[in-house]
Amino acid sequence: MPIPVSELQKINPSSIIELFTLTLDSTLHGSTDVQRFHAGTNDLNNTDLVWQGNTYQKFPCEATGFQFDGSSGSIPRPTFTISNILGTITALFATVNAVTANNDLNGAKFTRIRTLARYLDAANFTGGTNPFGTPDTTQELPQEIYFIDRKVVENFEIVQFELASELDLINLQLPKRVATRDIFPGIGTFFKSMTWQQDAFVHAEQEAPRESCGLLINYQNEDKYIPCKNLALHNDLQFLLDPLDWADTEDKYGKIHAVIHSHPIGTEHPSEADIISCKRSNKTWYIIGLKTKRWFKFKPTDKIETL
C-alpha cells in the first residue's frame, strides 16, 4: 500500500527510512538466506530496526544512483557500498564462492525499501510507542529491485557492488542492423540533438495517462531536463515529485531552475493547486499540455486567474 500523498506533501514530513535486503540464490550461492541492513543515518536509528516483523541490522552502507536519466535512455545502474572493516562481506564471499567459483555474490537480489518514521513498528521505540505517528507496516514507497551485476571494489574497509535491473540487457544493440552512409547517404546530414523541451515532452507522452514530472537544471552551460517519479496516489490528475529525486538532482547538479509537469487531459493552464505549489516551491514552473501541444510558463510572483 503506497504512502498517502497527504503525508508526503506536509511541510515537515517524518524522516524517510531507507532499508536494504540482499537475497541469495540457491543455485548460485547454495542458499536463499536474506541479509537485511540499514545505514543508521537518521537520529532515531541508533540500533537495529524492525520493519514488517523483520530485523534490519544497523551497518555502515550506502546505495546511490537510482535516478533515471531520460536523456540517455538507459536504465539506472546504482552502486551499493558496505563496510568490510570486520571482514563480514569477505567471509560471505568465501561461503558463496565455495558453491560457484569467483561468484562474489553476483546474481543476488537487492531490494531498496523506503518508508516514513511515523509508520515504524512500535518495537523500535522505548516504551513501545512510536512518538512520530501510528505504526502501519503496509505503508511504504514502491520497492526498487535490482541484482548484483559485479563487484567493483573489495578491500579491508569497504566492498562496492554495481547493481543492474532485470530488464537491463547490457551490450544488446538495437536495431541489430546498423544503417551507415554506404546504404543511406543522408545519415548525419540533418541530425540535431533533442532540446530539454523535447526531452520533457517525450517523457510526458511516455507517462500518459499519468502526469509526468521533472526538473530543469543547467549542466555544463546547457539546460537539461531531469525526469522524476510521480508518487501521487491519483497520478492521472495530480503529481507529487519524489523528494529523493529532488535531493539527488540537487546533489548532482546543484541549483534547480524550474519544475515541469504535464496535463495529459485538458489544457496547459495551471490549476489552483499548481499556482499554490509554485509559490511554495519558489521556482519557475512549466506545464505541458499534451492535447494542445502547448506550454505554460509561470513564476511564483505571477498573478494568474484559474479557469
pLDDT score of 242 more than 60: yes
Residue type, 246: W
User: What is the model's pLDDT at position 191?
Assistant: 43
Same domain, 224 and 153: no
User: What is the model's pLDDT at position 283?
Assistant: 95
Same domain, 65 and 149: yes
pLDDT score of 165 more than 90: no
Residue 180 lies in a domain: no
Residue 169 lies in a domain: no
Exposure pattern of 260-297 as b/e (b: 16+ CB <10 Å)?
bbbbbeeebbbeeebbebbeeeebbbbbbbbeeeeebe
pLDDT score of 213 more than 60: yes
Residue 202 lies in a domain: yes
Same domain, 28 and 156: yes
Q: How many domains does one find in the chain?
A: 2
Residue 114 lies in a domain: yes
Same domain, 17 and 70: yes
Q: What is the mean pLDDT of the chain?
A: 85
- Residue 257's domain spans which residues? 196-298
Dist. CA 302–CA 138, nearest whole Å: 41
Nearest-5° Cα angle at 232, 165 to 287:
100
Same domain, 32 and 149: yes
29 in helix, strand or coil?
helix
Could you tell me the end-to-end alpha-carbon distance of the chain, in angstroms, rounded to an integer? 34
Residue 232 lies in a domain: yes
User: What is the model's pLDDT at position 190?
Assistant: 44
Residue 145 lies in a domain: yes
Higher pLDDT, 183 or 101: 101
Dist. CA 76–CA 66, nearest whole Å: 6
Residue 30 lies in a domain: yes
User: What is the model's pLDDT at position 11?
Assistant: 43
Given pLDDT bands bounded at 50, 70 and 90, which one contains residue 61?
very high
Same domain, 284 and 221: yes
Given pLDDT bands bounded at 50, 70 and 90, which one contains residue 209?
very high
**pLDDT (tens digit per residue) in 107-129:** 999 999 998 888 888 888 888 88
Same domain, 58 and 158: yes
Same domain, 159 and 205: no
Helix (H) / strand (E) element for 202: namely helix 196-207
State what percent of residues in the chain have pLDDT above 70.
82
Given pLDDT bands bounded at 50, 70 and 90, which one contains residue 184?
low
User: What is the model's pLDDT at position 298?
Assistant: 94
Dist. CA 103–CA 241, nearest whole Å: 38
Residue 187 lies in a domain: no
237: CATH = 3.40.140.10
Dist. CA 266–CA 294, nearest whole Å: 11
User: What is the model's pLDDT at position 215?
Assistant: 96
Residue with cell string 520497492 = 143
User: What is the model's pLDDT at position 40?
Assistant: 77
Listed residue (248, 6, 34, 229) closest to 118, CA to CA? 6
Whole-structure pTM value: 0.54
